[in-house]
Amino acid sequence: MTMDLISRRGILGVFAATSVVAAPVMANAFGFLRGAGDMRRVRMYSGRTGESLDTVYWVNGKYIRESLNEINIFMRDWRTGEVIGIDPRTIDVAAASARLLQTNEPYMMLSGYRSPRTNAMLRRQSGGVAQNSLHMTGKAADLRLKSRSVAQMYQAAVACRAGGVGRYSRSNFVHMDCGAVRTWGS
């Protein structure tokens, strides 16, 4: 039995245990995070800018404005430098997914906010970029973990039932957003 197989079985066991225990009362990411205690934390780094983020952004039922401002700057459009308010529910989905995966590893953020100009440029380069992408309103993030597969990340985000989840196996990332609940990709 390889370590990879043990790891997969362990993750599947966590999902099975979580769904049995949590399903009746935890219908979305916010429910999963309620079990996290009095604080919510997010860890990310950007390969584009070299920056890291490790912040507690919610304590005792309230978002921390200074931490949200830090997240806004970190998740800016790195091509243009533009900053907007990132919807905290997007961060909640990512934090809840990391909690389900039982990892403290920081996410590698591939894309947070995208200006309309950046989004249009990316659409010209790739057919996989939505014209009205939630990235342009601060409601989406494209994330990767070294220690977890795209399939594992996808399953965790889907289990949150709190927004859209896209699986991009060839590009090795998962899209998480706080829009309508939906899934796509392979």
Residue range 133-186, pLDDT digits in tens? 999 999 999 999 999 999 999 999 999 999 999 999 999 999 999 999 999 998
User: For the segment 40-68, what is each residue's pLDDT rounded down to a tens digit?
Assistant: 999 999 989 999 999 999 999 999 999 99
What CATH number has the domain bearing residue 16? 3.30.1380.10
Dihedrals φ, ψ of 150, to 5°?
A: -60, -40
Rounded to 10 deg, the angle between the 150-160 and 88-100 helix axes is 120
Contact 41, 96 (CB under 8 A): no
Contact 174, 144 (CB under 8 A): yes
User: For the segment 61-87, what is each residue's pLDDT rounded down to a tens digit?
Assistant: 999 999 999 999 999 999 999 999 999
The answer on pLDDT for 109 being more than 60 is: yes
Using CA atoms, how far apart are residues 73 and 153, in angstroms rounded to an integer? 25
Dihedrals φ, ψ of 153, to 5°?
A: -65, -45
Residue with tokens 């993030």: 141
Q: How confident is the prediction for the chain on average, in pLDDT?
A: 85
Q: How confident is the model at residue 131 (pLDDT cuts 50, 70, 90)?
A: confident
Range of the domain at 104: 3-185
Using CA atoms, how far apart are residues 69 and 86, in angstroms rounded to an integer? 9
* pLDDT score at 164: 97
The answer on pLDDT for 4 being more than 70 is: no
Q: What is the DSSP letter of 22?
A: H
The answer on pLDDT for 31 being more than 80 is: no
Query: Measured in whole angstroms, how far is the alpha carbon of residue 65 from the centre of its chain?
Result: 20
How many folded domains does the chain comprise? 1
